[in-house]
Structure formats: C-alpha cells, structure tokens
C-alpha cells in the first residue's frame, strides 16, 4: 500500500503531472524567451505557453471520421501520457523508490512521443506530414543509437538498470562522456536547431503537425513541453551530486534542468538547420566514435572491478 501511494505521488504530484505540466510550460517559455533575447527580440510573456494551451483547448476542429480520425486523436494523448510517465520515473527525491529495470521503462517512455509523431504524420495523410514523419524516423534511427549506447554504457558500468543507482553514481570519465553524448542527442530529440528537420517550417510547414489544430495540437504542445522536462531532467539527475536532503535535491534538479534548457537554447540560437544527410552523417560518424569510447571504458571498468 505504501509503495503504491509513493508511486502514485511520484506520477501525479512530484516529479509527475502536478510539477511537470507547469514545468513544461515554464521550460517552453524559457526556451522561447532566451532565444528571443539572444536574437534581439522581446520574446513572449511569461504566461504565453499556458495561454496558447488554453486557447487551443477552446477551439473546435473539423470532424475526421473513421479510424484515421480516431488515430489522429489518440496519438497526442499517448505522447502526453508517456512523456508524463517518463518525468514521473525520474529519481529526483533521495530514496524515492523505483524498481530494477526502471531505466529501460524510462527509455521506452522517452521514445514513445517520437513514435507517436511519426505515426501522427502518416495518419494525417498530408504530404508535408508524411515527409516530416519520414525525416523524424530517419533522425530517430540516427540519434537513438548514440543516445541508448551512452545510457546503457553508464548503466552497464554500474551493473544496474535501476535509475537510483545511476543518480547516485560518482563522477568518472565514462560518466562524463555519457552525459556529453546524451547532450549531443538532445537537440535532435527535442527538434530544435541544428536538428529541427521534422518541423522545418520553411520547407514542410510544421511537418507531422501540419494537419493538427485545436485541443489535439494543444496536447502535442504539452507533450513537447513534457519531453523537455523529461530529457533535461534525465541529464539533471545524471549530473546532480548525490544529496540526502529532499528539498536540496529538488532545488538542484530544477536548477540543473534550467541550465540544460539554457544551454540547448544557446545551441539553437547559434546554428542553422542542417540537412538530413549531414545530420545522419554527423550522428553516425562523430558520436558513434563517442559511444564506442564509452562502451570500451565501461568494459574496462567492469573487468577492473
């Protein structure tokens, strides 16, 4: 009973929905505002992502019949719930529970929104949606190899697939290498420059989202925000030093996530969008070497231990 209450509290209160949704809006605002300031613009007011969400919720969308319409409604909901679940799994609080293998579940939940985007683009039957989805699929194959290798190598060096074990990890060259590899993958995961291919507005409007409007689009925006929280939170938990005081843990988590958002915004503001083949080459060439290094050092550490 106690563990069930803890799990529910984590999923619904902190770091789950009650924290994650406002945090998602906040991070979306931080990203937009900081990019705007770097570009010499004023940027949106603080409440803008929230206003956008409410405004979109209030719109009516043209009815879509049949299975296609049903699927188009379902994808954003699946994306939101999986992203929220991923945030809920993050080991922010010390001794927050968790179970053996929750890392694998987290990785799966992090990947689901991007799967949903691919499916949504194809179910919308728009040519721009289909091209966007194809790009998202290629992109996800390219960066996921590195992303998974980085995380798996850190986990393998610790003989655990439990998130708490990773959060409590001491700094090591492998650990830092892994974090750097994950950071390189984040712009692609979050569709920001230089890897904003699937939603390259000057080429294919908003890609898979082109046909979406109203409440469904609001859900996509929310899932995008939650992805920001989950992805930056993952880095934050890996970077954060191990503390036993709960409020310090929360504070550290928030501050580090904020730092990662700022870092990604700087990268987004300072770069042009790369082409799909340059992107794929980048991930396969440079960062594969990166992850191979991580794996070999993980093996080395394993044998040494």
Partner 1 sequence: MSYKIPMGPYHPALEEPYKLDLICEGETVRDAKLHIGFNFRGIEHLAETRNYIQVIALMERVCGICSNIHTLTLCQAMEKLTGQTPPPRAQYIRVIMAELERLHSHVLWAGIAAKLMGFKTMFMTCFELREKVMDVLQAISGNRVNYSMNRIGGVNRDIDDPAALLIMIDVLEKEMVRKVIPIFTTSSTARSRCADIGVLTNAKAISLGVVGPVARASGVAQDLRRAAPYAAYAEMDFQVPVESAGDVRARLMVRALEIMESCNILRQALTKLPPGELNAGEGKLAFITGTATSRVEAPRGEVMYSVSWKEGSNKPARVHVRTPTFVNMPAIRSMVQGARLADTPLIQASIDPCYSCTDR
Contacts of 242 (CB under 8 A, 6+ apart): 94, 167, 168
Cβ proximity to partner 1: between 170 and 202 the closer is 202
Q: Write the Ramachandran bin of 115: left for phi over 0, alpha for psi from -120 to 50, otherwise beta.
A: alpha
Cβ proximity to partner 1: between 153 and 199 the closer is 199
- 1-14 in b/e burial notation, b at 16+ Cβ within 10 A? eeeeeebebbbeeb
- The residue ranges that bind partner 1 (CB under 8 A) are 35, 38-41, 127-128, 131, 193-194, 196-197, 200-205, 269-278
Q: How many whole angstroms separate alpha carbon 23 and alpha carbon 280?
A: 31
Cβ at position 277, least distance to partner 1 in Å: 8
Cβ proximity to partner 1: between 91 and 194 the closer is 194
Cβ at position 210, least distance to partner 1 in Å: 11
Cβ at position 32, least distance to partner 1 in Å: 12
Cβ at position 134, least distance to partner 1 in Å: 8
Cβ at position 194, least distance to partner 1 in Å: 6
Cβ proximity to partner 1: between 82 and 193 the closer is 193
Cβ at position 128, least distance to partner 1 in Å: 8
Cβ proximity to partner 1: between 11 and 204 the closer is 204
Cβ at position 129, least distance to partner 1 in Å: 12
Q: At what angle do helices 17-38 and 48-57 cross, to 10 degrees?
A: 120
Cβ proximity to partner 1: between 4 and 272 the closer is 272
154 contacts 174 by C-beta, under 8 angstroms: yes
Cβ proximity to partner 1: between 77 and 280 the closer is 280
Q: How many whole angstroms separate alpha carbon 138 and alpha carbon 281?
A: 11
Cβ proximity to partner 1: between 275 and 285 the closer is 275
Cβ at position 289, least distance to partner 1 in Å: 19
215 contacts 59 by C-beta, under 8 angstroms: yes
Question: Among candidates 56, 57, 31, which has minimal Cα distance to 44?
Answer: 31
């Amino acid at each position: 009973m106690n563990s069930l209450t803890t799990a529910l509290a984590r999923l619904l209160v902190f770091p789950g929905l009650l924290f994650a949704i406002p945090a998602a809006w906040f991070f979306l605002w931080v990203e937009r505002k900081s990019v705007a300031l770097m570009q010499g613009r004023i940027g949106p007011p603080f409440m803008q992502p929230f206003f956008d969400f409410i405004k979109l919720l209030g719109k009516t969308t043209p009815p879509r019949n049949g299975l296609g319409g049903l699927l188009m409604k379902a994808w954003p909901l699946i994306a939101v719930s999986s992203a929220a679940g991923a945030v809920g799994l993050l080991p922010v609080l010390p001794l927050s529970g968790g179970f053996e293998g929750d890392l694998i579940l987290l990785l799966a939940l992090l990947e689901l929104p991007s799967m949903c985007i691919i499916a949504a683009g194809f179910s919308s039957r728009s040519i721009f949606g289909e091209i966007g989805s194809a790009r998202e699929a290629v992109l996800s194959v390219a960066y996921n190899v590195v992303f998974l290798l980085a995380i798996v190598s850190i986990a393998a060096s610790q003989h655990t697939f439990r998130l708490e074990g990773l959060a409590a990890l001491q700094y090591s060259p492998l650990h830092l290498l892994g974090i750097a590899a994950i950071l390189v993958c984040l712009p692609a995961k979050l569709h920001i420059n230089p890897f904003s291919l699937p939603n390259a507005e000057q080429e294919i409007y908003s890609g898979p989202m082109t046909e979406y409007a109203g409440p469904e689009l609001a859900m996509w925006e929310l899932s995008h925000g939650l992805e920001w929280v989950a992805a930056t939170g993952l880095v934050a938990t890996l970077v954060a030093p191990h503390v036993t005081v709960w409020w310090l843990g929360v504070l550290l988590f928030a501050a580090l996530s904020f730092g990662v958002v700022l870092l990604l915004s700087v990268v987004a503001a300072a770069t042009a969008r790369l082409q799909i083949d340059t992107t794929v080459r980048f991930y396969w060439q440079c960062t594969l070497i990166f992850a191979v290094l991580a794996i070999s050092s993980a093996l080395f550490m394993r044998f040494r231990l």
